[in-house]
Amino acid sequence: MTCEACDMKCQRFGTHRNGLRRFRCPQCHKTYTEAHRLTLGEMYISEEKMLIALKLLLEGNSIRSTMRITGVDGNTIMKALVLAGERCEKVMARLVVNVAVKDVQADEIWGYVAKKEAHKLPTEKDDDSEGDAYCYVAMERHSKLVLNFALGRRNQATTDIFIEGLRHATAPGQRFQITTDGFQPYVSAITTTLSDRCDYAMHIKVYGTNPEDERRYSPAEVISSEKVPVIGNPDKKRICTSHVERQNLTIRMQMRRMTRLTNAFSKKWDNLWSAYCLWFAFYNFCRIHTTIRITPAMEAGITDHIWDLKELLA
């Protein structure tokens, strides 16, 4: 490195706190640090520490436990999560398009931001940035690939956005079967958007209520189950939502903010969205599925190798 003032070659002078080399001019004693390489384009934290922090979040650790393990500040971890989520969102939008599918299942998983819907004040009832936050998930049954997801209220507007994204993800001209639960907004959304390429059926389950208060968090008992064809000619043997419901369990196990009965829930809507983007991209491209023994993206023919987290965020 050359001194800007003296035009002399600088000598090595230790390292910066982030590990970069420092130099000092032997004449004017002015010090310089070699050019910073910003992690994720905006952060001064080392790439190694950032990857470790994100891996801990992906394995079900909370922000505070990640702080204790890595020694990285909580605000830095949250910023890394948001930046990584933005990149993963772009990866999903770029690569999970026009995918040939055969059997799609869709479901919603409940969560909340800041507080539960019933706990909102009267002045907060119209604030959609707090309260219930449902994540719609569409998964291909055979490849286990998450085709699309959407975060919002459990209403017609969010359902329409979700199904429109599913159309973008699936290949045109190839008919497939889709199964959902009994949520009625699916009927109009799928009829309007996917009727030209899918056979649609509902798998409606009726749950009983548990009278015992001490067991109110136990799984409800399924009283009855009905398979209802809606569009086209769906195969009744393939009308099922069990695989995407199992995906919901995986989400609650791997995302600390989605674990029930804890204080690790998301405090901001953007943070929850970033956590979902990171998880689904990691699930599709990096995580080996036990059933198929490769990643869902490899099974679907999108990639030819297992990605690591560094490659996913590149």
Question: What would the two tokens of residue 249 be?
Answer: 């369990």
pLDDT given for residue 207 in this prediction: 78
pLDDT surpasses 70 at 216? no
Segment 148-161 shows an average pLDDT of 96
Answer yes or no: do 14 and 81 share one domain: no
- Quote the DSSP letter at residue 5: T
47 is a domain residue: no
Does 65 lie in the same domain as 21?
no
Q: What pLDDT is recorded for position 220?
A: 73
Q: What is the CATH number of the domain that holds 93?
A: 3.30.420
- State the total domains in the chain: 2
Residue 43 lies in a domain: no
17 and 72 in a common domain: no
pLDDT in tens, 37-64: 788 888 878 889 999 999 999 999 999 9
Q: Are 301 and 140 in contact (CB under 8 A)?
A: no
**Are residues 116 and 10 part of one domain?**
no
| Span 83-127, pLDDT tens digits | 999 999 999 999 999 999 999 999 999 999 999 999 999 999 889
Cα gap 297→8, rounded to integer Å: 53
Q: Is residue 306 part of a domain?
A: yes
The answer to whether residues 233 and 197 belong to one domain is: yes
Residues 2 and 100 in one domain: no
Closest CA relative to residue 282, chosen from 272, 294, 295, 292: 295
User: 148: exposed, middle or buried (C-beta count within 10 Å: 0-12, 13-18, 19+)?
Assistant: buried
Residues 248, 299: one domain? Answer: yes
10 belongs to a structural domain: yes
pLDDT given at position 104: 97
Is residue 27 in some structural domain? Answer: yes
Looking at the chain, the whole-number percentage of residues with pLDDT higher than 70 is: 96
Are 279 and 175 part of one and the same domain? yes
Residue 212 has pLDDT above 60, yes or no: no
Q: Say if residue 31 is in the same domain as residue 107.
A: no
10 Å CB burial of residue 245 (0-12, 13-18, 19+) is middle
Domain containing 115 equals: 52-312
Q: Are 83 and 90 in contact (CB under 8 A)?
A: no
Strands 198-207 and 222-231: antiparallel
Q: Name the packing angle between helices 269-285 and 74-95 (round to 10°).
A: 50
Whether 25 and 107 map to the same domain: the answer is: no
Examine the domain organization and report whether 64 and 32 are in the same domain. Answer: no
